[in-house]
Structure 1
Amino acid sequence: MKRTARLVAAAALTLSGLWLGTAQASAASLPSCTVAVPNLGVFFPGTSSASTDCVLGVGNQSEAVNVLQSAMTYCNGESVSIDGVFGPATKAALVRLQSRLGVSADGVYGPQTRNAMHFLYFNGGGCR
């Protein structure tokens, strides 16, 4: 009986490790956001192919970072310099925001954070 329980536990751990490894690999394979992508009246960080499935982290410097910083400041209650540079201050503000939003607070912007955040309407009509 104990042997069976150990085998079941080992199998469960192995399978959960495979599943978690797959999820992390897919997030890591996303491209960096580089531009502002208009979608449904809102600017999102995105790629040159207009995809919003992308990531931003420390070291990124682009129009997409500017969009993220603007959304954090004007729509999500985090005061951060809007300079297009994702540095330590932007990361710290993003970690606080992610924590408040109930998503993984890792300081990396990606699809999970995008789906939880509010962004600026590009006609100046506030946030959504």
Structure 2
Amino acid sequence: MKTLHTLRAKAGISAAAVLLSGVGLSLATASPAAAYAGYCNKSVTRSSALGSVSFVFDAKIPAYNGTMDCYMNQGADSAAVEALQTTLNECYGRSLTVDGIFGPATKTALEYAQGKADIGVDGKYGTETRRGLKWYWDQRYGSRWGCARLGDVIHIGV
């Protein structure tokens, strides 16, 4: 009888350990997503000026309620996807329909751009992708300008 009681106790402890380790794993996998403000639902305009108001350039960047620390992947449907699709077309030579729907073609185009940017290729958009991609910039009071990473100094060729 004592042996049966000992076996039950050991089985209970083992089950509890497995359960707690599973909870620990789920908490550990949830923490990277906590670094993001949320799922990209809009776009924000970032501007860069050179010399005068006639040389102001704007880029639309995916955002969640005003912050650029957001994520998205296949299945997203928003203005944030439109901003990404425009950049993939203009800066990476893709020919996506700019419809705001993150479908298989957008995922494939993003994987291509991630490869060109030499960052992790997973077809998902997040901080590393935002920092690594070149973004499409256009002149506010004129025509198309070109592509540059956020934070890079923009130079105009004369």
1:69 matched residue in structure 2: 85
Further displaced range: 84-93 or 70-79: 70-79
Report deviation, 1:100.
1.8
- 1:120 matched to 2:136? The reply is yes
**What is the alpha-carbon root mean square deviation over aligned residues?**
1.9
Secondary structure of the structure 1 residue equivalent to 2:110: helix
Equivalent residue for 1:3? none
Distance in 2 (alpha carbons) for counterparts of 1:76 and 1:45:
17
Query: Tell me, which stretches of 5 or more residues in structure 2 are unaligned?
Result: 1-24, 48-57, 149-158
Structure 1 residue 56: Cα displacement: 1.3
AA in 1 matched with 2:42: V
Unmatched runs of 5 consecutive residues or more in structure 1: 1-17
Check the 8 A contact 1:78/1:97 in 2, yes or no: no
| Structure number having the greater helix percentage | 1
Q: Which residue of 47, 59, 62 corresponds with 1:45?
A: 62
Q: Distance in 1 between matches of 2:44 and 2:113?
A: 22
How many residues matched? 106
Structure 1 residue ranges, 4+ long, deviating more than 3 angstroms after superposition? none
How many Å apart are 1:120 and its aligned residue? 2.1
- Residues of 1 paired with 2:83 and 2:135: CA distance? 8
Per-residue CA deviations over 1:2-39 (Å, capped at 9, x if unaligned) read xxxxxxxxxxxxxxxx9xx57x732x232111111012
Matches of 1:98 and 1:77, distance apart in 2 = 13
Instruction: Give 3-state SS (helix, strand or coil) of 2:83's partner.
Output: helix
Give the TM-score taking structure 1 as reference length.
Answer: 0.73
Q: Distance in 2 between matches of 1:120 and 1:98?
A: 15
Secondary structure of 1:125's partner? strand
Equivalent residues in 2 for 1:1-128, closer than 5 Å: 25-26=31-32, 28-29=33-34, 30=36, 31-40=38-47, 41-48=58-65, 50-122=66-138, 123=140, 124-128=144-148
Q: Distance in 2 between matches of 1:78 and 1:68?
A: 11
Q: TM-score, normalised by structure 2?
A: 0.60
The residue matched to 2:95 in structure 1 has which SS? coil
**Larger mean Cα displacement after TM superposition, 98-107 or 63-72:** 98-107
Deviates more, 1:110-119 or 1:73-82: 73-82
Deviation of residue 110 (structure 1)? 0.8
Which letter maps to 1:126?
A: G
Higher strand fraction: Structure 1 or Structure 2? 2
